[in-house]
C-alpha cells in the first residue's frame, strides 16, 4: 500500500493514479493524513478489503509530505560506518539521536530556501510509526512501523557544528530542511524491508549510494532504543541516518546552491526532487 498526501488530502496511490481516502471510505478515514495514521490499525484492515473506486490521474507537483504534522521527529547520526569514518568518528556504541524540529517537514518536490551558511545533503530512509507504542523490543520493532519513505536531512553545517559541544538540531531544522515523500510505503510492498538500495544524485551525479542493510542500528533496533525512552505516536518519523558522500566531507567541499537539483531515490519507495533558492 502506498499512502500519500495530494492537495492536503490523504490518498492511496495505485498503478493508475490516486484514490481519495475520505471519499472512498464515505468519510470513515481522512481526509487529513494525520487522522488516517491515528486510526492506522483500522485503516489497514479497511484498505485491505475495500473495493476502491477508479483512481484519478494526478500531478506529482501536488504531492505533499505523507506525514505533514508529525509530533516527534527523531534522527540518527553516524548510522553507516563509512559515513562515521568520513566524519572522523568511531562508530557509536548506542544510537546517537537528535531531532529535526517538526516545522522543517515538507513534501517531496519542495523548493528549499537556502539560509546563510553551508547547506549540505543527507539522503536517509525514514520510518513512520503506526500505532502508539512504548518499550518495544527489537523483535517487534517492525510491527510498530506503518511504513517507510524517502527523506533528506538537509543540514546547515556552520550552525550544526558551532560550539563545544555543538548543537545538531537547529542547523537541521530551517524551514524546508526535512523533505519527505513521495509516499508512505508499507513494508510488505518491499522484497526485503531490511535491505534496500538508496541513492542521492546532485545534478545527475551519484553522490551517495548504499544499502540499508549496512546501517549499524537497524530499524527494529532504533525503534527499541527510542521507544525505550519516549512513547511513540502515530506519524512519528525516524530519520535512520545517512551513508557516506555528504558535501562537507568531499575534497574539495561541496555545498548546495540555487542552481542545484538534488534527487533522492530509494528502491521501492520512490524519488524526491529538491531545488533551491
Ligand atoms: Zn542525518
Cα of 242 to ligand 1 centre, how many Å? Answer: 5
Per-residue confidence (pLDDT) for residue 110, from 0 to 100: 87
Cα of 135 to ligand 1 centre, how many Å? Answer: 24
pLDDT tens-digit map of 224-260: 999 999 999 999 999 999 999 999 999 999 999 999 9
Cα of 146 to ligand 1 centre, how many Å? Answer: 21
Q: What is the CATH number of domain 64-276?
A: 3.90.850.10
Cα of 5 to ligand 1 centre, how many Å? Answer: 24
Cα of 225 to ligand 1 centre, how many Å? Answer: 17
Per-residue confidence (pLDDT) for residue 119, from 0 to 100: 98
pTM of the model: 0.98
Residues 6+ apart with CB under 8 A from 251: none
Residue 206, all three cell numbers: 551519484
Domain extent listing, the chain: 2-58, 64-276
Cα of 253 to ligand 1 centre, how many Å? Answer: 17
Cα of 75 to ligand 1 centre, how many Å? Answer: 6
Cα of 136 to ligand 1 centre, how many Å? Answer: 23
Q: Work out the angle at residue 101's Cα, subtended by the Cα atoms of residues 96 and 105, and round it to the nearest 5 degrees.
A: 110
User: Which regions in the chain score pLDDT beneath 70?
Assistant: none
Residue 63, all three cell numbers: 504531492
Per-residue confidence (pLDDT) for residue 187, from 0 to 100: 97
Q: Work out the angle at residue 179's Cα, subtended by the Cα atoms of residues 176 and 185, and round it to the nearest 5 degrees.
A: 155
Per-residue confidence (pLDDT) for residue 137, from 0 to 100: 98
pLDDT tens-digit map of 173-184: 999 999 999 999
Amino acid at each position: 500500500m502506498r499512502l500519500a498526501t495530494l492537495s492536503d488530502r490523504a490518498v492511496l496511490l495505485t498503478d493508475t493514479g490516486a484514490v481519495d481516502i475520505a471519499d472512498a471510505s464515505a468519510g470513515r478515514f481522512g481526509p487529513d493524513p494525520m487522522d488516517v495514521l491515528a486510526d492506522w490499525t483500522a485503516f489497514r484492515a479497511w484498505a485491505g478489503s475495500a473495493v476502491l473506486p477508479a483512481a484519478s490521474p494526478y500531478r506529482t507537483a501536488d504531492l505533499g509530505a505523507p506525514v505533514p504534522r508529525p509530533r516527534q521527529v527523531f534522527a540518527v547520526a553516524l548510522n553507516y560506518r563509512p559515513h562515521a569514518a568520513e566524519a572522523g568518528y568511531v562508530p557509536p556504541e548506542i544510537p546517537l539521536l537528535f531531532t529535526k524540529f517538526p516545522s522543517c517537514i515538507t513534501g517531496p518536490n519542495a523548493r528549499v530556501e537556502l539560509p546563510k551558511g553551508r547547506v549540505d545533503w543527507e539522503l536517509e530512509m525514514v520510518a513512520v510509526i503506526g500505532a502508539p507504542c512504548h518499550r518495544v523490543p527489537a523483535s517487534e520493532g517492525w510491527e510498530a512501523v506503518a511504513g517507510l519513505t524517502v527523506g533528506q536531512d538537509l543540514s546547515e553545517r556552520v550552525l550544526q557544528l558551532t560550539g563545544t559541544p555543538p548543537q545538531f538540531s537547529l542547523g537541521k531544522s530551517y524551514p524546508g530542511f526535512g523533505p519527505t515523500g513521495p509516499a508512505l510505503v508499507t513494508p510488505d510492498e518491499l522484497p526485503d524491508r531490511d535491505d534496500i538500495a538508496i541513492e542521492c544524485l546532485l545534478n545527475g551525479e551519484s553522490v551517495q549510494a548504499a544499502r540499508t542493510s549496512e546501517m549499524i542500528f537497524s530499524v527494529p533496533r532504533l525503534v527499541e532504543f527510542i521507544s525505550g525512552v519516549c512513547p511513540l505516536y502515530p506519524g512519528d518519523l525516524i530519520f535512520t541516518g545517512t551513508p557516506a558522500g555528504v558535501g562537507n566531507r568531499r575534497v574539495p567541499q561541496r555545498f548546495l546552491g540555487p542552481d542545484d537539483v538534488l534527487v533522492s531515490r530509494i528502491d521501492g519507495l520512490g524519488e524526491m526532487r529538491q531545488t533551491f533558492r
